[in-house]
A and B are shown apart, each in its own frame.
Chain A
Amino acid sequence: MNFILEGFRKGVILLFGLNSEVLAVLKLSLYISILATFIAVCIGVPLGSIIAIKKFPLKKIIIALINTGMGLPPVVVGLFAVLFLSRNGPLGFLQWLYTPKGMILAQVIIAAPIITGLSLAAVQSVDPRFYQQILSLGATTRQSIWVLLKEIRLSVLAAVIAGFGSIISEVGAVMMVGGNIKGQTRVLTTATVLETNMGNFDIAIALGLILLTMSFIVNLALTFIQQSEDR
């Protein structure tokens, strides 16, 4: 119990004392995960909607693949990302290994299937006649999807929240692809692992609590947007 209280105390001190290392790590965590979420949303929401609406061969298999992708272990994604981004790998020319760009790539790969799958389910749960109603009002396909998404914005935002949650908290991918380099690729999760390895359990707990708090604040903002639409 002592541990936890000590961790709390340390966390408050680190954060409000504006400890530069902690702030750098915090900024990078938010930057990478929020940017990755944004990219994953840009891919996942339209993709999920189109797959839900259109008919095409192998539709069920594609959906099964997306559902499988929702459960991709981050550490496996990290492993494959490293293999691809390493000097000898096919994408080595990008020089993204051990950089935030590589970490964002890995996190997009983790979050995109989740957001796609949840958007897909949200759109599929809508009465198909409702979509026809939108079309009958004179909407193009693009306009129809936009109107439909506005109607189910609660579910779409839930997908965004789920996507963000999955990557702000993961450590496997960012550790492998980023390398936990101080000042360059160290984020809250990997810093927590490091402090634990060093035996600095109080700092580790502090970082963990900071991570939870930050995650809560971002989710609070998203939830406000989500729930304000529910009148």
Chain B
Amino acid sequence: MTKRLVVCVLTFLLFVSLFNPHLEAQENRSAILATTTSVQDTGLLDVLIDAFQKETGLTVKAIAVGTGQALQMGRLGEADILWVHSPADEKQFVDEGYGINRTTFMHNDFVILGPKIDPAKVIGMKNAAEVFKKISSAKALFVSRGDNSGTHKKEKVIWKDAGVLPDKNAYIEAGQGMAKTVMVANEKQGYVLADRSTYLSLKKIIDLVIVSEGDQALINSYSLILVNPDKFPKVNANGAKALFNYLLSRDSQEIIENFGKTKFGEQLFFWDMKDNQ
């Protein structure tokens, strides 16, 4: 019995040593990037981070959380650089001194999805706020992210512009990520605000269609913000700056603009930097 035990322990140690490899290598002093799930869920985050790591040999800990959590992490100095999409909150963040070098560098767009039968009769309308108004008055079902994410905040802004509240009995807060929220809307045949790339990736398996797109209000702008190293000495300022510079570089631009073309046949993200520096 002791012999068997010894064999087990040895095998185990062998296993641990074999698998242990590169994991311990680069951990300390990687910059922490707090970004939103929408960046991750499109797949763009992985591609850009991979490219950055390959090019510079540095590593990044890219943590995808909700916009609310990302900004909170910035406020606590738990992240070194933020990549978020909630302009009003971002401005407040910088004003309060937590962040510096806020740079809006790319955007994608949202679309409003709805059931084919279109109970609120909004197909083809261009004005997002008007669409929401009609959905509310028709008491048609609307499914929200309900999680204070960038998407959710965008949705709330549109409701505000529309000047109405959604009908209480026809409003569901899914509390989930974008794809799951769209699936809920699909299941219940309701309207939902979604980013285009999520829609494209789910297109084949859902019955919803785009009922409205193209409105300026549906533009979703992404910005980078460096967490203020003066306020938080523990911040990895160099690592953050290196990533910051890379994401704003021409290489990055190329990747961003080409993203989506192979997978979905259309460009998903648009570069916003005036001077490509």
Contacts and interface: CB of A to CB of B under 8 A. Distances in A.
Q: Do A and B touch directly, given a CB cutoff of 8 Å in the complex?
A: yes
Interface of A: 27-28, 30-31, 34-35, 38, 86-88, 95, 98-101, 150, 179-182, 184, 194, 196-201, 225
Contacts of A201: 205
Interface in B145-180: 177-180
A182 B202 contact: no
A182 B50 contact: yes
Contacts of B27: 95, 99, 101, 184
Contacts of A87: 76-78, 234
A197 B23 CA distance: 26
Contacts of A88: 76-78
A112 B164 CA distance: 53
B46 A182 contact: yes
A34 B15 contact: yes
A196 B1 contact: no
18 contacts: A27-B19, A31-B16, A34-B16, A35-B16, A150-B1, A179-B62, A180-B63, A180-B64, A181-B62, A182-B46, A184-B59, A194-B40, A196-B177, A196-B179, A197-B179, A198-B201, A200-B201, A201-B205
A45 to B, nearest CB: 12
A139 to B, nearest CB: 15
Contacts of B4: 225
Contact of A199 (B12, B23, B62, B179): B179
A1 B198 CA distance: 23
Contacts of A225: 4, 8
Interface string B18-61: 01100100011000100001001111001001100000000101
A181 B63 contact: yes
Interface string B94-111: 000000000000000000
Given A198-B41, A199-B202, A31 B28 contact: no
Given A27-B19, A87-B234, A184-B59, 15 more contacts: A30-B19, A31-B16, A31-B23, A34-B16, A86-B76, A88-B78, A99-B27, A179-B62, A179-B63, A182-B62, A196-B179, A197-B180, A198-B179, A199-B182, A200-B201
Report which residue of A38, A150, A198 has the largest number of chain B beta carbons within 10 angstroms of its beta carbon: A198
Nearest to A2: B205
A3 B142 CA distance: 26
Given A180-B64, A181-B61, A199-B202, A31 B19 contact: yes
B37 A98 contact: no
B34 to A, nearest CB: 9
Report which residue of A87, A180, A199 has the largest number of chain B beta carbons within 10 angstroms of its beta carbon: A199
Interface in B178-226: 178-180, 182, 198, 201-202, 205
A210 B117 CA distance: 39
Given A86-B78, A197-B41, A199-B201, A98 B32 contact: yes
Nearest to B38: A197
B77 to A, nearest CB: 6
Contacts of A31: 16, 19-20, 23
A179 B65 CA distance: 9
Contacts of B20: 31
Ranked nearest first, the 4 interchain pairs of A and B with the lowest CB-CB distance are A197-B177, A199-B179, A179-B63, A199-B201
A196 B180 contact: yes
A150 B49 CA distance: 51
B63 A98 contact: yes
Contacts of B1: 150
Contacts of A34: 12, 15-16
Contacts of A182: 46, 49-50, 62
Interface in B83-123: none
A35 B15 CA distance: 10
A88 B62 CA distance: 19
A200 B242 CA distance: 32
A156 B167 CA distance: 57
B220 to A, nearest CB: 17
A88 B234 CA distance: 9
Contact of A179 (B61, B76, B202): B61
Report which residue of A28, A196, A197 has the largest number of chain B beta carbons within 10 angstroms of its beta carbon: A197
A101 B28 CA distance: 12
Contacts of B43: 198
B183 to A, nearest CB: 8
Nearest to A197: B177
